[in-house]
Amino acid sequence: MNKVDQSVVAIFSSRGKNHDFKIFKDSKIAFLKDTKLLGDSGFQGAQKIHENTTLPIKKRKNKKLTKEEREYNQKLAQDRVLNENVLAVLKRFKIIACRYRNRRKRFGLRFNLIAGIYNFELKNGF
C-alpha cells in the first residue's frame, strides 16, 4: 500500500444543513491538477469542477454492474476509507459530530486548531 498523506489541509463550513457537494461547490477551493479527489456517489458532477475526480460507477436502470465495475467500486471504497477514518478522529472532538452552540465566528479557528492537533499527532506518531 502506498504511503498517503492524511493530513487535514483546508476546511470550509456553512450555516445549517447542507449537502457535502453543495459545500464543496460553494467553497471554490482550488486544488492542484494532480490532486486526486475521491468522492462517493453524492458527488456526481464533481468532474466539471475538478478533472482528477474519481467516483464510483452507478448501476444503470434495469442492468447490473459487471464484475469489473464492482471491483472498481470496491477498490475506490477501500481508498476512501482513509478519508472516513480522518473524519472519525475529528468527530471525537465533537465539533463536527454535534450541533455547534458557540459563536459561529470562532468555529473556523477552533476547527483549524483541532485539525492542527490531528496533524501534529499524525506527524509525531501519537
Q: List pLDDT tens digits, range 27-58.
A: 777 778 888 888 888 888 888 888 888 889 88
The pLDDT value given to residue 10: 66
Q: List pLDDT tens digits, range 77-90.
A: 998 888 888 888 88
Instruction: Kindly report the pTM of this predicted structure.
Output: 0.67
Kindly state the greatest CA–CA separation across the chain. 51
